[in-house]
Amino acid sequence: MCTIDKLTDKATKSEFDKRVISATQHLQAYVKHRLYIAESTKIIPKNMYKSHDIIDEGIAKFYEKGYNVDADAAIIKIELFKIVDADLDELFKKEAFHQNTMSTHSILTDELDGLDEKFTVDEDFDFIMNDELSDISYHQDQEKKHVFVYDDKNASIENALEISDISAKRNKYLLGKFYTYLPLRVSDVVDLFIFGKLSFEDIAKIKNIEVKRVERILDLVMEDFKEHLD
């Protein structure tokens, strides 16, 4: 914890505040996309939540819990992502009844159970991926879901998934199907990487899982998606 003298030092506090603001650069893109996916998959109502409100609330919680005024931007960024990521998880659980008027528990359970047993529950995280991940997003005979057409024109996802033309009708449909059938906690890891611009190590800290698991999740999911672009 910082000293009283440093806390009362306006110059030091001002520099710290600047580092906090700079740490929100990619947080904005991440939150906007998580809300877009949640709206598109009908977990939350459209236009009910704004990214800047969620981020402002996260920043307020960051200051309230106490902080080290000497912390660098990288540490601040991880702490802010942790707070906002947890807030989004709680929000989606609370609002999940909007999706087919199902209970929160049923939705989160069905997300895992309906994936053709490609995901299994793990004691230290909510999912793991099995070796036979093939076609997780495209062969869902057990459960019928409304597939939305992805229309968020963002260069980040275009580059990460190596999509030559994100505006092409087929690619928009594939992206919509991709996000429709991925469990929220899986697509969250994907979005932390693509939109949050976070490293495997940073994502592991935020989600409290091993780095190798983050790497495996991203490798398997992205490889599976790219196969269907060919």
Answer with the residue of higher pLDDT: 116 or 80. 80
The one-letter code for the residue type at 51 is S
Of 68, 51, 57, 59, residue with least CA distance to 23:
59
pLDDT in tens, 95-129: 876 555 544 444 444 544 444 344 443 433 444 44
Confidence of residue 35 (pLDDT cuts 50, 70, 90): very high
pLDDT for 111 equals: 45
Cα angle 138, 128, 141; round to 5: 25
pLDDT in tens, 151-199: 877 778 878 887 777 778 888 888 888 888 888 889 999 999 999 999 9
Q: Cα–Cα distances in Å, from 221 out to 7, 134, 135, 208, 209? A: 45, 9, 9, 19, 17
Q: Cα–Cα distances in Å, from 218 out to 100, 133, 204? A: 29, 12, 12
**What predicted TM-score, i.e. pTM, was given to this entire model?**
0.76
Close Cβ partners of 172 (under 8 Å, ≥ 6 residues apart): 149, 150, 151, 166
Count the neighbouring beta carbons within 10 Å of the beta carbon of residue 44: 21
How far is 60 from 39, CA to CA, in rounded Å? 25
How far is 115 from 224, CA to CA, in rounded Å? 14
pLDDT for 3 equals: 56
Residue ranges matching CATH 1.10.10 in the chain: 169-228
Return phi, psi of residue 126, to 5°: -85, -10
Class of domain 169-228: mainly alpha
Exposure on the CB side of residue 129, measured as CA atoms within 13 A: 25
pLDDT > 70: what percent of the chain? 73
Q: Taking 70 as the threshold, does the pLDDT of residue 223 lie above it?
A: yes
Q: Which contacts (CB < 8 Å, 24+ apart) does range 6-11 have?
A: 6/69, 6/70, 7/69
